[in-house]
C-alpha cells in the first residue's frame, strides 16, 4: 500500500467504466471548440495585440487588480463593454468559471434564495455551494418551476431576494433558455436575474450582444459574457448595475485574490468586440447559420435527430464506451469530435458534442455526416 494507491484505483475504475479523461492534441477539422466565429486567429485581433506590444503594453499584469495589476487597458475594455452590452458597468475577469464563482459566492446574501436551472454551468453550481443563501435547483428550462419555487419560498416565510440563475444557451444540449419568461418571473417576484451568455455572446442578438441583449440595463439583471468562445480570446465580462460591480470589486474573493488578466488580453477582447459588431459580425453570423443548416441536412436528418436549435449539436449515444468508440473513429477519419460523459452530463446521456464553427467548412460537415452514419448504430466495438 502506497500513498498513491487510492488515486491509481480511482483512475483504473474510471478506465473500466469508459470515463477516463486524457489531454489530446487539437487535430483534424474543428468540431469540438467553442471558437464559433473563428476569431481565435483573426488578423485584426492579432494586429491589435502586436500594436499594443509595440506601444509597451506589458504581457503580464504583475498582481491583482487591487494592487499593482490594474492597467489602463482593463479600464478601457470595461468602459467599452458597458457601452457595447448596454449595461451601467462591467468587470473584466480571468475566465467565466472565476466570474460565476465570484458572483454567486458574493452577491446573494443570507436570507436570499437562489433558484438555478439543474443544467447550469458547473461554475454556477460551485458558486452556489459557496453562497450563504438558500438554494434550490429546478428542472431544465422549466420557467414555471422557477416561479413555483419562489412562490413556495415566500409562502414559507422567505423575505430576502430571490435570484434566478440560468444560461441563455446551454453548452451540452445546445438549447435556448426561456429568457423572456424568466425575465417576467424576476420582475413579478422582485428577483435578481443572472444570465450566463457564454455560448451566445457574439453569435446571437444584435451585433452579437447575446440572447438577453434586449434586457440589458435593467437594475435586476447581471449578465456574464465569456470572452473565450464566440469572441475567440479569453476572460469574462460581468455586466450589470454599478453597485453590483463595485460589490464584486470589494467582496469577491476570486477577483480580489487573483492576478489580473494580461493587459494584452484586454486589448484583444476590445478588438474582438469590434469584430462581432456591424457588417463584419453580421457576415460571420450568417456564415455560421449556413453551417447549421448544412448540419441539419447532412447530420441530423440522416441520423434521425431533431433539427439543431443552435451551433451546438448533441448526438446522444448513452453508453460511455460506445460514445468514445464513435468519437475515436471520427478522429481517425480526420474530424476533431469529442465524447462527453458523466459527470459532465447526466448518467445515461453520454454524447458526441458537435460544435459548429467557422473553422470547419461546409464540405467538412457533409463528410462528418457520412462518417457518423457509418459508425453510429453499430456495437461499441465496431467503430
Where exactly are the structural domains of the chain?
24-41+279-375, 57-276
Pairing between β-strand 162-167 and β-strand 192-196 as defined by DSSP bridges: parallel
Q: Give φ, ψ of 147 to 5 degrees.
A: -60, -45
Nearest to 99 by CA among 203, 196, 241, 209: 196
Measured CA to CA, the distance from residue 14 to residue 343 in angstroms comes to 11
pLDDT of residue 229: 98
DSSP state of 262: P
* Number of helical (H) and strand (E) elements in the chain, helices listed first: 14, 12
pLDDT of residue 145: 98
User: What is the CB neighbour count within 10 angstroms for residue 177?
Assistant: 23
From the number of C-beta atoms within 10 Å of its C-beta (0-12, 13-18, 19+), residue 318 rates as: exposed
Q: Crossing angle for the helix pair 122-130 and 96-106, nearest 10 degrees?
A: 30
Question: Taking the model in full, what pTM does it have?
Answer: 0.92
pLDDT of residue 21: 79
Measured CA to CA, the distance from residue 115 to residue 23 in angstroms comes to 34
pLDDT of residue 274: 98
pLDDT of residue 175: 97
What does the pLDDT profile of the chain (383 residues) look like in tens digits? Answer: 898 888 889 989 988 887 887 878 888 999 999 999 999 999 999 999 999 999 999 999 999 999 999 999 999 999 999 999 999 999 999 999 999 999 999 999 999 999 999 999 999 999 999 999 999 999 999 999 999 999 999 999 999 999 999 999 999 999 999 999 999 999 999 999 999 999 999 999 999 999 999 999 999 999 999 999 999 999 999 999 999 999 999 999 999 999 999 999 999 999 999 999 999 999 999 999 999 999 999 999 999 999 999 999 999 999 899 999 999 999 999 999 999 988 889 889 999 999 999 999 999 999 999 999 999 954 333 33
pLDDT of residue 20: 81
DSSP state of 101: H
Q: Give φ, ψ of 159 to 5 degrees.
A: -120, -5
- Using DSSP's 3-state secondary structure scheme, residue 64 falls into strand
Sign of the torsion angle spanned by Cα atoms 130, 86, 242, 96: positive
Architecture in CATH of 57-276: 3-Layer(aba) Sandwich (3.40)
pLDDT of residue 275: 98
User: What is the CB neighbour count within 10 angstroms for residue 276?
Assistant: 24
- Provide the CATH number for the domain formed by 24-41+279-375 in this structure: 3.90.1150.10
The H-or-E segment that residue 315 falls in is strand 312-318
- Using DSSP's 3-state secondary structure scheme, residue 35 falls into coil
- List residues with catalytic annotation: 34, 121, 167, 171, 196, 199, 229
Amino acid at each position: 500500500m502506497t500513498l498513491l494507491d487510492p488515486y491509481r484505483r480511482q483512475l483504473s475504475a474510471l478506465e473500466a467504466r469508459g470515463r477516463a479523461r486524457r489531454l489530446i492534441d487539437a487535430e483534424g477539422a474543428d468540431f469540438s471548440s467553442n471558437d464559433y466565429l473563428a476569431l481565435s486567429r483573426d488578423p485584426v485581433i492579432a494586429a491589435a495585440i502586436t500594436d499594443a506590444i509595440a506601444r509597451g503594453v506589458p504581457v503580464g499584469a504583475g498582481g491583482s487588480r487591487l494592487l499593482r495589476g490594474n492597467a489602463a487597458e482593463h479600464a478601457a475594455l470595461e468602459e467599452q463593454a458597458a457601452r457595447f452590452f448596454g449595461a451601467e458597468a462591467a468587470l473584466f475577469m480571468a475566465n467565466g468559471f472565476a466570474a460565476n464563482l465570484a458572483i454567486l459566492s458574493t452577491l446573494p446574501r443570507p436570507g436570499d434564495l437562489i433558484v438555478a436551472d439543474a443544467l447550469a454551468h458547473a461554475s454556477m453550481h460551485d458558486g452556489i455551494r459557496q453562497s450563504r443563501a438558500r438554494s434550490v435547483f429546478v428542472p431544465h428550462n422549466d420557467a414555471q418551476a422557477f416561479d413555483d419555487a419562489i412562490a413556495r419560498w415566500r409562502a414559507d416565510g422567505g423575505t430576502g431576494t430571490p435570484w434566478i440563475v440560468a444560461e441563455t444557451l446551454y453548452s451540452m444540449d445546445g438549447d435556448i433558455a426561456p429568457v423572456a419568461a424568466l425575465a417576467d418571473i424576476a420582475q413579478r417576484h422582485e428577483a435578481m436575474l443572472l444570465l450566463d451568455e457564454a455560448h451566445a455572446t457574439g453569435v446571437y442578438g444584435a451585433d452579437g450582444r447575446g440572447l438577453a441583449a434586449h434586457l440589458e440595463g435593467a437594475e435586476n439583471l447581471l449578465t456574464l459574457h465569456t470572452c473565450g468562445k464566440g469572441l475567440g480570446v479569453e476572460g469574462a465580462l460581468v455586466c450589470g448595475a454599478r453597485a453590483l460591480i463595485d460589490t464584486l470589486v470589494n467582496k469577491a474573493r476570486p477577483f480580489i485574490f487573483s492576478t489580473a488578466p494580461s493587459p494584452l488580453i484586454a486589448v484583444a477582447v476590445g478588438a474582438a468586440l469590434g469584430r462581432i459588431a456591424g457588417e463584419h459580425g453580421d457576415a460571420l453570423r450568417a456564415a455560421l447559420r449556413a453551417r447549421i443548416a448544412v448540419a441539419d441536412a447532412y447530420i441530423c436528418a440522416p441520423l434521425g435527430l431533431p433539427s439543431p436549435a443552435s451551433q451546438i449539436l448533441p448526438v446522444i449515444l448513452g453508453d460511455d464506451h460506445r460514445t468514445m468508440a464513435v468519437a475515436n473513429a471520427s478522429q481517425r477519419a480526420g474530424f476533431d469530435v469529442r465524447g462527453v460523459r458523466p459527470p459532465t452530463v447526466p448518467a445515461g446521456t453520454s454524447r458526441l458534442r458537435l460544435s459548429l464553427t467557422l473553422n470547419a467548412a461546409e464540405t467538412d460537415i457533409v463528410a462528418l455526416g457520412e462518417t457518423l452514419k457509418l459508425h453510429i448504430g453499430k456495437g461499441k466495438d465496431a467503430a
